[in-house]
Amino acid sequence: MNTFKTFMFLLILTLFFVWVGGLIGGKTGMTFAIIMAAMMNFFAYWFSDKVVLAMYRAKKVTEAEAPELYSIVRTLAQKAGMPMPKVYIIHEEQPNAFATGRSPKHAAVAVTTGIMRLLSPEELAGVIGHELAHIKHRDILISTIAATIAGAISYLAQMAQWALIFGGWRREDDEGGHPIVALLMMIIAPIIALIVQMAISRSREFAADEGGAKIAGNPRFLASALRKLQWAAEKIPMNANPATSHMFIVNPLSGKSLIKLFSTHPPIEERIARLEAMSL
């Protein structure tokens, strides 16, 4: 899926959000949805990276504090023709990593202490290459906005639920939303939003795997890392927010069986198979 198609998905998701607002609350609901979408997209563009890093208590490190990690990031960023991103470390036992930031000039790479202990330098380079590919493709901005709008749709559904409970609906001829339609949208809208978000996230993971393998110089580095990370994610729990799980290189909630049904990540086996095919 190329960038144009991805942005079209985001446009459709935003329009769907506004449409849901109209079905739930009529013209008032649609106006509220437009204002809410604009505010949330603005917030996601300018501040989402800071919020996510703060959420996981990520600590910014210098080259003196983490020389090996810093060297890997700098070398690969130069190879990819990108500005040097900020480097953060998260004190978590589960081996994992993510990138954030609205553009290559305003980007950060965060890794857990667990991943630095588990992976070899070559495997860690594969992971960093994957995250740099996300930054280069501007996937972080895309996925963040998708997650924001999907969350807003769920919020609208909750508002509709409370409106039904407390009888806050006006009649149809008073330009309000129809309660039966609202009830259906309470069920359907969040599911559709989640499916679209999953489609975007999964497609971008494959592209980042391919781009990261090229940046790191050997697809087998990342393939080997993914094997270890998947095993560790199932054994070592992480108190991760489901709304941000799509940002990590492997799903930090993969140990929870219900979450697997709605995973934003494609199957690890398929990712590894594609990477190994690149090295043939």
Number of structural domains the chain divides into: 1
Query: Which of 62-71, 184-193, 201-210, 218-227 is predicted least confidently?
Result: 184-193
Please report the beta strands in the chain, taking only residues with DSSP state E, as ranges in sequence order: 59-60, 86-90, 97-103, 106-112
What span, in angstroms and rounded, lies between the C-alpha atoms of 185 and 183? 5
Torsion of CA 160, 165, 170, 176, to 10 degrees: 10
Q: Is residue 56 helix, strand or coil?
A: coil
Give how far Cα 89 sits from Cα of 61, 166, 224, 251, 272, Å.
Answer: 7, 47, 22, 18, 26
CA 59 from centroid of its chain's CA atoms: 20
The answer to whether 100 touches 110, Cβ cutoff 8 Å, is yes
Q: Is residue 99 helix, strand or coil?
A: strand
Q: Which long-range contacts (CB under 8 A, 24 or more apart) does 57-64 make?
A: 57/90, 57/91, 58/88, 58/89, 58/90, 58/108, 58/110, 59/88, 59/89, 59/90, 59/91, 60/86, 60/87, 60/88, 60/108, 61/87, 61/88, 61/89
Q: Give the model confidence (pLDDT) of 199-216 as tens digits.
A: 666 778 999 999 999 999
pLDDT at 221 over 80: yes
More confident call, 253 vs 197:
253
What span, in angstroms and rounded, lies between the C-alpha atoms of 217 and 46? 33
DSSP of 130-144, one letter per residue?
HHHHHHHTTHHHHHH
pLDDT at 135 over 90: yes
The answer to whether 250 touches 265, Cβ cutoff 8 Å, is yes
What span, in angstroms and rounded, lies between the C-alpha atoms of 19 and 21? 5
Q: Say what the pTM is.
A: 0.78
The answer to whether 133 touches 211, Cβ cutoff 8 Å, is yes
Helix axis angle for 179-216 and 3-55, nearest 10°, is 90
Mean pLDDT of 233-237: 90
More confident call, 85 vs 175:
85
pLDDT of residue 193: 60
Q: Give the model confidence (pLDDT) of 80-122 as tens digits.
A: 999 999 999 999 999 999 999 888 999 999 999 999 999 999 9
| Confidence bin at 269 (pLDDT 50/70/90) | very high
Structural domain boundaries enclosing 89:
3-278
> Catalytic positions, please?
131
